[in-house]
Amino acid sequence: MTYPFSTPHEVTKYEIIDEVPKRAMVIFAHPDDAEIGAGATAALWATQGTEITYVQCTTGSSGSNDLEMTSEKIVGIRAAEQRAAADAIGVGDIVVLDHPDGELEANRIFLGEVVHAIRKYRPEVVFTHDQHRINGFQHRDHRHVGITVQDAVYPYARDHLHFPEQLVDGVEPYKVKHLLFWGTDNPDVLVDVSDSVDTKINALAKHESQLPGLSFGSDMDVRMRARHTDAAKGYGFKYGETFRRLTARA
């Protein structure tokens, strides 16, 4: 289960992101994390022609508070919910790495999987969890995804002598331009998502097993909109989505 509706931390200034990439990738631990973290930006960019790929790192096999639920059953439920949410966002492929929920390790096997996905799909922008978040609880899987994605972007996907066995069938080393972290204590960039917050909320509502009762006008909807409104204050638009950005040298 995830709890995305805590009060955001104040910042003094954001840089506005208005460049739209040709390809972007969202790498996330559990079904629903992608929409919580970057759903509005991904939806906005999808309408503007960006090819969006999801990399889901676990099956979500422990994501239920229902004592009658089994891991086998919840995996199927969450897979269907995630595909429906991705369709609402405008996502193409979903790469599922099939690690058990709660057992993700920041090891070489996982690193190689993420490197291969980046090299295959060649995103200009990658979104993921901020592993350095300390002002609140964070799932261990989230931290391990953030660590591994940052390592995969730099230097492993870039340098041909890392995982050279991957370099077949058109797969080549690749340099990601921007890495955007969500759930960060120190956001520094902002996207105007005034036209896509509704899409984000609609997509999140597909995750009925995790966010029951989310619909337009619900309490959760109001809280989510308030966060996006707070992010956009002083910038001349209604809703914003924030990230911490790392940019690779040219």
Q: What is the pLDDT of residue 250?
A: 67
Rounded Cα distance between 105 and 109, Å, is 9
Residue 245 carries which side chain, given as an amino acid letter? R
**pLDDT over 70 (residue 164):** yes
Using DSSP, state whether 49 is helix, strand or coil.
coil
**pLDDT over 50 (residue 11):** no
Token pair for 209:
């097993």
Average pLDDT over every residue of 156-170: 97
Rounded Cα distance between 80 and 87, Å, is 11
Q: How confident is the model at residue 13 (pLDDT cuts 50, 70, 90)?
A: confident
Q: What is the pLDDT of residue 43?
A: 98
Q: What is the pLDDT of residue 249?
A: 80
Using DSSP, state whether 54 is helix, strand or coil.
strand
Using DSSP, state whether 190 is helix, strand or coil.
strand
- Give residue-wise pLDDT tens across range 67-88: 888 999 999 999 999 999 999 9
The model carries a pTM of 0.93
Token pair for 237:
């638009």
Segment holding 44, helix H or strand E: helix 33-47
- Give residue-wise pLDDT tens across range 122-157: 999 999 999 999 999 999 999 999 999 999 999 999
Average pLDDT, the chain: 94
- Give residue-wise pLDDT tens across range 208-248: 999 998 999 999 999 999 999 999 999 999 999 999 999 98
Q: What is the pLDDT of residue 66?
A: 80
- Return the sign of the alpha-carbon dihedral for residues 106, 112, 115, 120: negative
The strand order across the sheet containing 15-16 reads 15-16, 189-192, 240-247, 178-182, 125-129, 23-28, 51-58, 94-99
**pLDDT over 60 (residue 10):** no
- Determine the Cα angle at 139 with ends 136 and 140, to 5°: 120
- Determine the Cα angle at 54 with ends 49 and 55, to 5°: 150
Rounded Cα distance between 225 and 62, Å, is 28
